[in-house]
Each structure stands twice: as C-alpha cells, then as structure tokens.
C-alpha cells in the first residue's frame, strides 16, 4: 500500500514551502552573525566587545547548524517522495501512520521503531 498521489502532492508542496522558509532563515542568520561583518577585522574593539561578538557568533553558528539539519531532513523527505519510498519506515518498511506524517512530515521511522530506538 502507498500513500495516495494527491496526498503526496500536498506533502511535497508543504515541504517545498518549508524548505523556502529554511533558506530564508539561513540567509537571515548568516547576515546577523557578527563575524559576517568584514569591517570587524580591522576595528580595534575592546576585549569585552570582542568577547561579546565571539559569544554571539557561537550562538548564531549553533542556530545555523540546527537550521541546516532541518534543511537536510526536508531535502531527504523530498528525495523519498521522488523515489516513491516516502511514508515507509526506514527500519521495518511498514507504512508510517499518516497522523505521524502530518505532525512530522520528515519522519523516517514508524512509531514502533521510533520507540525501540529511544529505549
């Protein structure tokens, strides 16, 4: 059994919209990173300013890492749609519950396998 084509089209559209949002987040976070300002290399900022910039840079890098993980999950889900494997558990190959996919369209495990993984 497979997911109906109209449902897959809806999911694909939703994932593509999410991917666009993620790309916008990446661009915005990259702009806000204090290390993105090349003028900072030639300024003689006080050590407390430098420490603050370093701290903010690390925070932005952590947020960027998180957003890139989300980007990878979405891209992988879109690839599974293209291959015809979307909605099937990567572990047991059973169809993932549609309620689970509605809540998390990038899910790769059914609830049973997810529970086993957490144990």
Confidence of residue 33 (pLDDT cuts 50, 70, 90): confident
pLDDT for 10 beyond 70? yes
Name the band, by pLDDT with cuts 50, 70 and 90, for residue 3.
confident
How many CB atoms neighbour CB 20 within 10 A? 11
pLDDT at 46 over 60: no
Strand, coil or helix: what is 3?
coil
Residues 6 or more apart in contact with residue 14 via CB below 8 angstroms = 105
Helix 47-83 to helix 5-32 angle (10° resolution) is 160
Query: Does residue 38 surpass a pLDDT of 60?
Result: no
Distance CA 25, CA 32 (A): 10
pLDDT at 60: 86
pLDDT at 41: 45
What pLDDT digit, counting tens, does each position of 12-25 carry? Answer: 999 999 999 999 99
Look at residue 111 and tell me whether its pLDDT is greater than 50. Answer: yes
* pLDDT tens digits, one per residue of 60-106: 889 999 999 999 999 999 999 999 999 999 999 999 998 999 999 99
Beta-bridged to residue 95, according to DSSP, are 88
């Amino acid at each position: 059994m497979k997911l109906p084509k109209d449902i897959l089209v809806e999911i694909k559209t939703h994932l593509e919209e999410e991917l666009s949002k993620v790309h916008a987040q990446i661009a915005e976070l990259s702009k806000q990173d204090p290390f993105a300002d090349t003028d900072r290399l030639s300024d003689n900022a006080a050590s407390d300013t430098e420490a603050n910039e370093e701290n903010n840079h690390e925070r932005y890098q952590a947020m960027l890492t998180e957003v890139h993980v989300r980007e990878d999950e979405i891209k992988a889900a879109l690839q599974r749609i293209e291959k015809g494997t979307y909605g099937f558990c990567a572990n047991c190959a059973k169809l993932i519950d549609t309620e689970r996919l509605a809540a998390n369209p990038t899910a790769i495990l059914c609830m049973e396998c997810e529970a086993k993984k957490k144990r």
